[in-house]
Structure 1
Amino acid sequence: MASFGVRFGRALLMVRGSNGVSAAVNFYHNGLGMAVIRHTDNWAELTCPVGASTRTSQNEIDPINFHLSIQSCESEGCLAVGYSPFLNFDVDDMDSTVARCVQMGANLDGPIQYPAHGKVATLRAPDGQMIGLYEPTA
């Protein structure tokens, strides 16, 4: 397979005003445990490790991170539910993650499913974004 030097960099969520940014940061930080890198009234950036990692020249493991940017927006078009990406996260403990997110204001969209390869759940975050959760079978 050809490599074009392209890699996933971040997902962008559009939310209404500075209250929307603060609420989203609160949810993704306290509900999913993402680390806050920057947070202003109109912009925030959070990060968490992804499943893959690389080795540095000193043979140390350098984790690859997923970046989530949250931006304030007032336009109705970019705030429509389904406009921004559907986010998917791998989790270590589905049950506690779902419970924590629901406590933070998310809604479980159907039951947790148990396919042979793990557990799968879909949540609607308090800001209306759809989030997929996946816990692989150990």
Structure 2
Amino acid sequence: MASIGVRFGRALLMVRGSNGVAAAVNFYHNGLGMAVIRHTDNWAELTCPVGASTNTSQDTVDGINFHLSIQACESEAPLAVGYSPFLNFDVDDMDSAVARCVQMGANLDGPIQYPAHGKVAAMRAPDGHMIGLYEPTM
């Protein structure tokens, strides 16, 4: 099957409010050493290399990083166990990705959002799991 412009993008952690974002950034940056890419009151993105946790550069995959996105939420539903989108995929074209997923039986969970860092959509896959789609701003 040909690539359709989708990549595993990040894990998403939803926390309560801007204080939750700040506390999570503090933990993952200072506690685990993840690098902060961006940090606002309601959103943060951190990264670290993918690979084994040894000191030899041969054990890491060059140029591939794990991304952790942290999002502030105020309502209870996104913070409930089992709701929060955990698997997130970067897409090249949000509109066509959403259309393909809906044709395959997924349901868009609310409208596509347009924060400053790109387009974001939450979908319930046909198997019932929540996934996130993210088209970064170039």
Query: TM-score scaled to structure 1, two decimals?
Result: 0.49
Query: TM-score scaled to structure 2, two decimals?
Result: 0.49
